[in-house]
Structures are given as C-alpha cells and as structure tokens.
Chain A
Amino acid sequence: MTSDTETAATDPSEAYRLIPPEPTTDEQFSYAQITSGCKVYATKDDEWRLAEVIALQRKKGKLVFYVHYAEFNKRLDEWIDETKIDNHRPMYLPKPQKDKNKKQNRKKVIKKTSQKADTDTPEPQRATSEPKDDEMDLDNLNVQGLVKEGEELSREDEIEKLRTSGSMAQTSTHELAKIRNFSKVIIGNHEVEPWYFSPYPVELTEEDCLYICDFSLNYFGSRKQFERFRSKCTLSHPPGNEIYRDDYVSFFEIDGRKQRTWCRNVCLLSKLFLDHKTLYYDVDPFLFYCMTRRDEMGHHLVGYFSKEKECADNYNVACILTLPQYQRHGYGKLLIQFSYELSKIEGKIGSPEKPLSDLGLLSYRAYWAETISTLLIENGSTDISIDEISQITSMTTTDILHTLQTLNMLRYYKGQHIIVLTNQIMESYEKLQRKKRHKLDPAKLVWKPPVFTASQLRFGW
C-alpha cells in the first residue's frame, strides 16, 4: 500500500541501512562529495547512525553539515563537522527527483484508496450488523483528524483548510524550515536551546542569541535593545484576564484578536518547540490559555494551549506546549486538565487537534490513563458505559477506548466486554495517591465560555 513515503526509515527498501554496516578500510567518499540529500553514517551518543544531510555550510573555512538522524526526532537535528561523519562507511546519494511522476503517483494512490474504500467497507458490514452511531469498531479506532496514508492533502488544499478551519497544524515543506534557525534563546533567566525553525525576522538569526522578554515575549537580537525595552515595559503578566488562580499556578485567557502582538509572540516562541505548528495565518481565531507561575517579579509563562473560538471538529486544544525549561515537572498534565475543565464548563467533549507530537502523545496518554483509572477506582467498581465516562471527563469516546485498550483494561469475558482494573493500574493509582501531585481545583476556575458573534468569528480582512 505504501511505496510513496519519503522518509528512509519507513521505506522497506532502505530499512536495512538503519543498521550501520561494518566500516571498510578504504575511504568510500571524500567529504567534498557530500551534498544535501545524501545519507551518511554519523556518530551520535556514541553510536553510528544513518543521517541525512539537509544543508551544508562553510564556517571558518570548514564544512559543517546539518543532519537529521534516522529514527530520531527532528529536534535532535544538528550541525556537525566532518569529524563526526564516517567516510569508511557507505554514503547513499539521493534518489533522482521525479516530481511529475510523483504527483501522478499520488493522484493514483488517492484514487486507489478511494476505490478501495468503496469496495472494501461494505464487506465487514455484511459480516456484522449495520453499524450504529454509538457503536465503535475496536479494530478500527481511527484517531480523529489524523491524515491517513494516501490521503495527504495537496499544498493548496492544506492552506485552504488552514484558512477556513483555523487549524494550527501544518507540515512544513520548505527546505529552510527544516533547519533550526536559532541556537540559543534567553527567556527570563533561562537559556534554552530551540528545537525547530521559527519565523522570527530573518535578520535576527545572525545574532548569537535571541533575547525574549519574559512577560511581553518581545524578541531582540541586541542586548542593549533588550535592556532598553525591559526598562520601559511595565507588563508583569500575560495581557488578559486571570481566570484561575491557586497558590501554585494561574491561568490567563487571551483573545488572539485583541492581543495580536502578544499572541503572535507566543506563537513564534512556541514554534521553536513545536514542529507541527503553523504560523501561516494570523492568530485571530484562537483563544490562548496561558499558565503562569507567580513570583515577586510577576507571572512567568510556563506553558499554554491555544483553542479555536469555534471549532467544527470539536477540538478543545489546538496547540499545547510547556516551555522546555519547565518540562518534566507535571505542568503538561495541569495544562491538559485545564483544557478538559474548560470543556466541562462548556458542556462539550473534546480532544486535542492532531497530529500530536511524541511528547504530546505521552502527556495525553498519561493524563487519560490517570483520569480514567482514578474515575473507575473511585467510582467503587460500579458498572459504567463508555459514554458515561465521556460525559464525566469530557473526553471523547475514541480517546477513552484507546486508553482502555492501551492499558489492557478492556477485556472480553464470558461473552461480553468488561473493564478490568488490573493489578498494575491499582498499583499506579496508589502510587499517585502517595505522590500528591498538584492538581487544579475546578472551583477556582472563574470562567464563562466566551460568546462571539458571527461577525467576530469571520477572520478575514
């Protein structure tokens, strides 16, 4: 079904390359021969990995290569010099580009799959009863909104979708956008290494370091400028209304239309750490919920999530990010919990917009697992339907079923489905109770779902 994917890793014909071959005694190629698109073996964390050269530059007379390691996330892409590349192992040249053929191929694939869908789907329907609305196929739990293979949108369609839906996800196609363009960012008193490309003004990429004001999130390449700005700026918290406060964190609600500068800044900043985020269109259709920690300087942004003012697909989160300097402290779970608390007040069920990042997936899975197991255990093992769980937690039934299956809780026992609280679940629940992690108190959330008029929801000019 798939012979068209571009990544080497998934290409079965190239799968064998992932295991580095033994080095030969002779040099197989000279460094000057390396061009972008070549795949070489480079050392990373004391092991040899297949790496694709994305770009090369001459720095102080020396060649440096920007490489993407196979099977590693893009955030680990880096500039390396030739000492890290083994020319005693083979180099694979890029396949000649056949753009025209490719496009045609893709069209064919789309046709094929659609035909397939037409012919395929009725079969299982014959075997089983007509699927009802509330019935879900456990073998085909499709994650809502995820692009399936062979159904990739053309660039035009994708942009059209962005324009109309206000979606925040987009796969960047441009070569430049594949290369991280900043090496160091200073936010507040943290020095952070960016992960991905972000479209800050291109002139600033020449600077060693990007200074970002912790409150206004304005960015400067020059330290003097940053100093001047800081001396004038009186902002000490995100420029919106505080809707939640406990002694640990606060949440601010910010309207993208009213706080265009700030929201743009937040997007630019988060783009540094989110791969599948697009800044193609403006921030107007989104509300930004910002989590802050308070000290005597003000409210420092810890993380945020954006949410469409009106979402046709019932997503309750568009983009979600805990800033790297605050990661692995449980803030992500608080952000996720908050997004579901908002959905509860709205009386809707929701799910994050796809695709999720690897870290996002893990955070969500952890939250879902914890929420569902806590609910079931504290419910005292009384019978419950998936729908009821969904009503209580504001999670979609798909997400719930997913979680139950990954946790191996949904079983088939004596001719019917049951939910099993496994020993492992009970264990981790007790562990969680002992840990006493901070949790948000829904009573402290002072919020009414903002209402927008039709004209306020038209974001054109």
Chain B
Amino acid sequence: MALPSSAGARFRQRKISVKQTLQVWKQKDIPDLELAEQQRDLQQFETGVEKGEEEEHHLQKVINASAAKIQGEKVEQVYIPTPDASKVWADAHKYYKDGFSAPATYIKFSATVEDVSGCPYCMDEEDEKFLEAMNSKSDNKCTEDEFEIIAHRFETVVNEKQPFLTMDPQQILSFKEIVQIALVPDKSDPADVARTLETQLNIHPFKTLLDAKPTSGKQPRPLKVLFDMFGRKIYEHWKARRIERHGKPVFPALKFEDPSHKDDNDPYVCFRRREFRQARKTRRTDTQGAERLELFYKDLKHARNLMFMVAEREVRRFEQIKTDLEIFNLRCETKKVKRELGVKGEEEDLITHKKKRPPLPDPEMFRAQQMSEKERLLNKERRKQQIEKEKLMATQRQRYQKGGANAQGPLGQGTNPVAVQPYVKLPSSRIPDLDLTTVNAVLQDKLEGIKKAVSDKLVKRRAQDEGWVNFTDDPYNPFFSIATNEDEALKERSHLPYSSIASSLYQIENSQETKYSSIFSGHRHYKDEDVVRINASDGKLVANDRNNMLPEFYDLSGQDRDYEDTGFYNLNNENQNKLSVSEVLYKLRKRVGRYGRTWIDRKRVSDDHGFEDYVDESDDEMELESDSGEEDTKEEPLTPPENGELSSRKRHIDVYDSQSDAKRRLKSRFMFDSDLPSYMPLDPSKLNQIGTQTQAIRFGCMLLTKAYDSIHHIRQKQIEAHQQRILQQQRLMQQKQKQLANGSADTNGSGLSNKSGSPAPGAAAETKKLKT
C-alpha cells in the first residue's frame, strides 16, 4: 500500500480528476521534464495479485525488469517459469479423426455433452478382458456397444432403485429383479426418447446427426434380446465390480455435496448447489410451490408433446420430399417421351408447384392451448360458437347480397362487402392507415347488422317451428284496432280471441319487404291441401284457392275510382265467394251461470258514439250463446240473438263491406293520418310508426319473453313440486321417527299406540253421521 511516504509528497496535487482533460506530450517535446522526480513512487501500488504472491521471486523479477525497461535500460526478456507443457502425445491420432469442416456460417449448437457421446458407460480394460473371454466361449458375439448398453442399464437401475447401496453392497438387486425393472422404459433416458420416437413415428432406427455411430459398424440389438443372451453373464461381472467398489458406481464420478451431511472442508466436493435462503415455510408457500410444480409439469409435458409433433411433421415433410422427388423423376421421363414425340411443353411442368401455405393458426389459439385445461375447454366452446355464428352470418350475408340487391338498390350505397371495420383504439402516436369510412357506410353497416340479427331470429324461429303446422292461416290482422285507441268499451282484452302472434305469418307473407318473403318463399311448412277453409259468413267449406285471397289495399289518397266512397275496393262487386280476411271484432266474455253452467257472451265492440253523429250507425250487436243458447239480458245490454239472423247478417260480418269498419277507418284517418300518406299502411310496423326491424325485434323479443315465461313457469312448478316432495319426505321421516319412538315406548307401556290410532276411526264415524 502506498502510504503518503513523506511530507514532501504534499507539495504536489496527489488527487486527479478522471474528468479533467490532460495534455498529452511526447517526451522529446518537453526536454525540461524532470525524470528523477517520479522515481520514488514507482512500484508502490497494488497489483491485484494476492499479497503473499506479490512478493514471489519470479514475479518480482519480471516486474523489476519491465520497470527497468521503462527507465530505458536494456533488459533481457524474463519469464515466469511454469511446469512443462511442451510434450506431444504421439498416440493422439488414434483417437481423434479428421473430417471436420467448418460451416460457412457461425456454428449454432445447443446439444449437451451427454447428447453427443452415446452410451454413458465406457468400458475399461477390465471389462474388455471379460468381454473377450465371454466372446471366445461362444459364437454369439457381444459387441462392445452392446456390452456398454447392458452395463449402463444395470447401473441406472441400481442407482435409481438403490441410492443407498453403499450402506450394504451385498443387498444389490438380483439379475431377475434388475431385468424386471430394466425392461420398463426409462423415461429420463435420452436413449429411451429415441426408442419412443422410433415406435411412435415408425422410423427404424431413429438417428440424429449428433448420435454416435455404432463403433462396431453394427446396430446394437434390442435390450430385451441382449438381456436374454448375455444379461446373466454380464450381470455377474458387473455385480462383482460394483461390490468391489463398495456399492458405488463402477466408474468414479465427481463428488457432490451430500445434503444430509455438509462438509465444507472436503476439497473433492465441488459444484455445490446454491441454496436459497428459504423464507419461512408456510402453508401458502407450500401450495405455491406445489402449484408451480404442477405448472412446470404441464409445461414440460406440453413441450414434450410439441417436440413429438415437430418430429412427426418432419417425418411427413421428409415423405413429401421423397414423393416430390419421385414425381419429378416421373415427369422427367415423361418429358423424354414427349421430346421423342415432339410435344413441346413448358419446363415449368417439371417442378411440383408448392401449394400455398394455409394461414397460421390464430395466436389466440396458441395462447389458449397454454392455458389450463379447463380454460382451454371453455375457450374452445366459445370459439366454436363464434365460428358457427360467423358461418351463419356469412350465409346470411350471401343471401342478402343476392336477394337484397334490389331492395338495397335505391339507397345508392350498395352493399359493401368489406368487413365491418372494428373500432380500434390506437395509440395517439400512430396514425391509423385504415381507410376512413363515411357515416353513411357506418350506418349502412349498422342497419345491415340489425337486419342480420332479425333474419337470424326468423331463421331460428323457423327452425323451432319445424314440424309444426300453423293453421291460423288467415289470422287476425291487427289493422283495425291498433289505430283506435279509444277502445274503452273493450274492457277485457284478454278475451280477445286473436293475438298478433297469429298474424305473423300473414304479415310476413304479405309484407312488401321482399326480403322476408324471399326468406319464406318455398319455406311454408304446410301444403295448401292441408288447410281447411271455412267461409265465415256461411260456415261452408271453401275451395282452397290461395290465389283468390287478396290482401287489403287501402288507397288513402283516394285517386282510384273504386275507392271513392269508402277508400276500399268494393269487394262485393267482384266475388261474393271471396274469403274474408278478417272479421268484425267481438267482445267475448266467459261467465258462470246458475248450476255451474258456463256462458260465453259475445258482443260487438261498440262504436264511438261521438263519431256516430257523423256516420250513420247501423250496426247490430249480437250475442252468441255458447252452450245452451240462453241469453243474459241483465248483464249485457244487448239485443238477444235470433238464430235465423246469423245468416241474414252475413253481409255485416264481411269486413270489407262493413260500414262500421269503413266508418272507423275514416275516423282513424281523420284523427291520425295525414292527408298524404307516404307509406302503405299494411305493415304493423308502419302502423306503429316504427321501423320494420324494430317491429321484428319487438316481435322476436316477445317470442323470447313468452318462451322464457313459460320456461320460468315450468321451472317454478318443478321447484314447487320438489319442495313439496321434500316436505312430504320430511313429514314421513318425522312420522317414522315418531313411530319408532312410540314403538320403543310400547315396550314399556302398550296403551299409547291405541290412543294415537283412535281418533281416525272416530272422525270417519263422524263424517258418516254427517252423510246420513
């Protein structure tokens, strides 16, 4: 250590800043530099060599020599003497062979020493002597490779099964025991991996570039065969050696630390494991550890599977290359023939053109695979659903593009086949290079999406209705009542025999929206013959002529001559037999009369009286008696029905020449409609002043809620039933227990059971009395 040697040293700045710029001079340029001044400091600083060695003779000699050299003295080169290393081993060429050629690129290598050095057991002179003796006795020669394979297997089995063999070497496993274990594949053994690959991939033998070649030029025979042939003999030899080694492996290995017996002082113990300073062991760390192990195991398993798959792929690839070559050769021959025949063709034909590679699987999938099994399954399901949905969407879209072309036409945008651009939030630094879309396009997409959803629902609905026939062929068209909100008189709406559900088919079939009809065209679930029609006016069967049925047309503009008075076609003019599409609205009521008789009252919905002033009210009201035909005048201020009248009033039943209906329409028109209607009011959606899509959605929602309600109802009932059953069971149990208790009581005093049983007969007697 260079201590401040004298006070004289203080004259000079002894500190130096590393940041300070220093002038660099050549010695010859500053001749006035004192040389002597520096001398005293020389050799006084630390060298970095250990103190004891710093003083060593040879090192000092060299240091001094170089110091002298710096002073400009001539000195001989001095070396530190080292033991001899100059001798050449003449036999080396026997063990090292030529044949290495450096690849053009830098070597990349990750195989371990174990991977590239074949069977880890290397026989020595003693083994050699034994093997020679053994082979001289029989014609069936055991090669050195084979000997090593057998001996190695003995070693690994015993090392694994008897780690404490050194305690008593005589306990060593017998040949039989070893063979039993040895033939079970050892999964940790790289040789076994090769064997597994061999059987799984059906490649014999499975060899890599790194694998050692069999030294005898012959492939070693399978382990089982070897055990049968030489096992016992080699076992005896090996056992003797192992016992001689006091149970330690035949060949010495490095001494590692024995965790139970730490010895810091044995210089032969090396490469100890670094231990973690274990934080306190808790249940949590334990479970964490277990989890980590589990994960690790899964990862390893996964990696192993992957490797197998890679191997398999490579095998396939190899096969493919072989076939490609075959094809090429065949083509070459064909070419020859072609040339001979003078047929000219492209040279290109010789090559098998590579098929385009299918796109790589979604990285999502890959990630999903890495997730735990459970999640993976879940994800898969989700994905499946998604795919199905996508498929459905795709077919729908196609259908739309076909069928909806004319419908979409007027909008002018056309159907944009480009996929809907998702809304992606990008970092502000990156300007998206997506094409910007117009609002119209976005709206269009949105609209299309809604339409898709609707049609999906309809398709689903149709699937549900598969096999069912809807006989409500001419359902009520909720045309009449929707516009009239003044139906105060209609007190019990639940009695309405019609519902808008029933009208769905009608609506769809008569819809102006061609896309719906296109969906349903040819998809009716019944044939025309299946439908029986009854003329509502006379109760007779009507010939089933679908084409005869006309939807109602209502020209509110009143331009057509036929519409002049009512705004309706005068259907009466054309054909009396024409089917009525709808009927007059009746109010029905169910009531229980005397002696448990049920009545259904029917009443025509009364008209608005205020409006009657304007249009002549001439409608009748009638009541239909259900069972007995009796009337109840007290409760209903209606005129009693006359049986004969029914037929005479058919004219009124027919909606299309019903004055009251016309009047009501007029009234509703007066109240709600503008003079220049912009729509054909056939569609319920339009009547409701909402879009067709919204209507359909509402309709769909209603179906869903209904379905849900019914399910809920059923479920509720089930629960109730279940609860009751449980209650009953409980009651039974209680009774049983009681009986048991009673039974035990009986052994003491038997009078109790009689008492408990007695009230029942008494009660029965009482009821009897009452009856009489």
Could you say which residues of chain B place their CB within 8 Å of the CB of A127?
10
B25 to A381, Cβ gap below 8 A? yes
With an 8 Å Cβ cutoff, the count of chain A residues facing the other chain is 157
B117 within 8 A of A: yes
A128 to B45, Cβ gap below 8 A? no
A458 to B276, Cβ gap below 8 A? yes
A136 to B16, Cβ gap below 8 A? yes
B274 to A163, Cβ gap below 8 A? yes
B107 to A142, Cβ gap below 8 A? no
| Bound form: Cα–Cα A172–B251 in Å | 27
A385 within 8 A of B: yes
- Among A194, A358, A408, residue most surrounded by chain B Cβ atoms (within 10 Å): A358
1/0 per residue, CB under 8 A from B, across A213-244: the answer is 01010101111111111111111110111110
Could you say which residues of chain B place their CB within 8 Å of the CB of A233?
116-118, 212
Could you say which residues of chain B place their CB within 8 Å of the CB of A426?
26-27
A239 to B112, Cβ gap below 8 A? yes
1/0 per residue, CB under 8 A from A, across B55-82: the answer is 1111100100011011110000001111
Could you say which residues of chain B place their CB within 8 Å of the CB of A221?
252
A104 within 8 A of B: no
B89 to A420, Cβ gap below 8 A? no
B46 to A232, Cβ gap below 8 A? no
A72 within 8 A of B: yes
A279 within 8 A of B: yes
| Bound form: Cα–Cα A189–B89 in Å | 5
Least CB distance from B514 to A in Å reads 64
- Among B66, B87, B97, B106, residue most surrounded by chain A Cβ atoms (within 10 Å): B106
| Bound form: Cα–Cα A234–B254 in Å | 23
B26 to A237, Cβ gap below 8 A? no
B523 within 8 A of A: no
Least CB distance from B24 to A in Å reads 5
| Bound form: Cα–Cα A459–B275 in Å | 8
Which of A190, A192, A241, A282 makes the CB contact (< 8 A) with B107? A241
B271 to A223, Cβ gap below 8 A? no
Spot the interface stretch: B119-127, B180-188, B470-478, B483-491: B119-127
| Bound form: Cα–Cα A406–B82 in Å | 25
Which of B46, B52, B92, B116 makes the CB contact (< 8 A) with A146? B46
Known pairs A127-B10, A174-B265, A461-B274; A9 contacts B48 (CB<8 A): no
Q: What number of A-B contacts does a CB cutoff of 8 Å give?
A: 388
A143 within 8 A of B: yes
Could you say which residues of chain B place their CB within 8 Å of the CB of A265?
113
Which of A131, A159, A177, A359 makes the CB contact (< 8 A) with B15? A131
Enumerate B192-220 residues with CB–CB distance to A below 8 Å. 209-213, 215
A386 to B22, Cβ gap below 8 A? yes
Least CB distance from A229 to B in Å reads 5
What are 14 inter-chain pairs, A to B, with CB distance below 8 A?
Answer: A159-B264, A191-B87, A192-B87, A199-B268, A201-B252, A224-B123, A276-B50, A280-B270, A282-B274, A327-B82, A361-B49, A384-B24, A385-B21, A418-B25
Could you say which residues of chain A place their CB within 8 Å of the CB of B90?
189
Enumerate A378-423 residues with CB–CB distance to B below 8 Å. 379, 381-388, 390, 397, 401-402, 405-408, 410-413, 416-423
| Bound form: Cα–Cα A136–B22 in Å | 14
| Bound form: Cα–Cα A354–B47 in Å | 10
| Bound form: Cα–Cα A435–B312 in Å | 57
With an 8 Å Cβ cutoff, the count of chain B residues facing the other chain is 118
| Bound form: Cα–Cα A92–B215 in Å | 59
| Bound form: Cα–Cα A225–B250 in Å | 12
Least CB distance from B445 to A in Å reads 45
Could you say which residues of chain A place their CB within 8 Å of the CB of B124?
222, 224-225
A124 within 8 A of B: yes
A281 within 8 A of B: yes
B252 to A124, Cβ gap below 8 A? no
Known pairs A220-B122, A242-B106; A10 contacts B55 (CB<8 A): yes
B446 within 8 A of A: no
B62 to A199, Cβ gap below 8 A? no
Known pairs A225-B122, A233-B117; A139 contacts B271 (CB<8 A): no
Least CB distance from A282 to B in Å reads 4
Known pairs A136-B18, A384-B22, A413-B30; A10 contacts B51 (CB<8 A): yes
Enumerate B79-97 residues with CB–CB distance to A below 8 Å. 79-90, 92-97
A432 within 8 A of B: no
Could you say which residues of chain A place their CB within 8 Å of the CB of B69?
424
Could you say which residues of chain B place their CB within 8 Å of the CB of A146?
46, 48, 50
B273 within 8 A of A: yes
| Bound form: Cα–Cα A191–B92 in Å | 10
| Bound form: Cα–Cα A135–B127 in Å | 68
Could you say which residues of chain A place their CB within 8 Å of the CB of B636?
none
| Bound form: Cα–Cα A134–B80 in Å | 36
1/0 per residue, CB under 8 A from A, across B1-43: the answer is 1111000011011111111111111111010010001100110
Spot the interface stretch: A25-33, A83-91, A254-262, A339-347: A254-262
Which chain A residue has the least Cβ–Cβ distance from B215?
Answer: A231
Least CB distance from B601 to A in Å reads 85
